[in-house]
Amino acid sequence: MRVLTVVLLVTAWLLAPAAALAEPVPRAPAHLWVRPVEGAVTRPFDPPPDRYGSGHRGVDLAGSPGVPVLAAGDGVVAFAGTVAGRPVVSVDHAGGLRTTYEPVTPGVGAGQAVPRGSPIGALAEGHAGCPAAACLHWGLRRGETYLDPLSLLRPPEVRLLPMGAAASSAGVDP
């Protein structure tokens, strides 16, 4: 009976969506998403320890002033305007995801549908701490939870564990 239980648990674990087994990072196929600009990462995602803690709630990508910034995925523009003196564009996507792009001089308006890879504006200068001519701060969140936007571009990881490890993590004696 124990062996049957372990086999059923492992089977369920293998068939479960990857996002349900790990952190709440989207695991959509990478081909559904594109980089908003092609520059190198100048500052990685560094999630805050709590909702109000310090951290870096996105990634910074090097660019040049005036280059087009692309919608990372299909969505609807939620906001295009100025926040705290900086030009920002936010796009809502399926699954409760929202991407943000800053500083971006908007080329789109709120309520406008944008397909993946379409220009949403132009990269502006003025991102603090940027070591390049300009940097795009690209953010991602689901609800109030900030996520690493680069996770959109990675294929899902599949990791197999020994049966004893899988059974132990499921609370079953091997």
**CATH number, position 108:** 2.70.70.10
CB atoms within 10 A of CB 78: 15
Q: Mark whether 151 and 162 lie in a shared domain.
A: no
Q: Mark whether 123 and 55 lie in a shared domain.
A: yes
Q: Mark whether 151 and 169 lie in a shared domain.
A: no
Q: Mark whether 130 and 169 lie in a shared domain.
A: no
Q: Mark whether 81 and 53 lie in a shared domain.
A: yes
Q: Mark whether 164 and 86 lie in a shared domain.
A: no
Q: Mark whether 8 and 68 lie in a shared domain.
A: no
pLDDT tens digits for the chain (174 residues)? Answer: 444 333 333 334 333 333 332 344 445 555 689 999 999 999 999 888 877 877 788 999 999 999 999 999 999 999 999 999 999 999 999 999 999 999 999 999 999 999 999 999 999 997 878 888 899 999 999 998 999 999 999 876 666 777 765 444 444 444
The domain tally of the chain equals 2
Give the domain extent around 166: 1-23+157-174
> Rounded distance, CA 29 to CA 38, Å?
19
Closest CA to 120 of 82, 79, 151, 60: 79
Q: Mark whether 131 and 56 lie in a shared domain.
A: yes
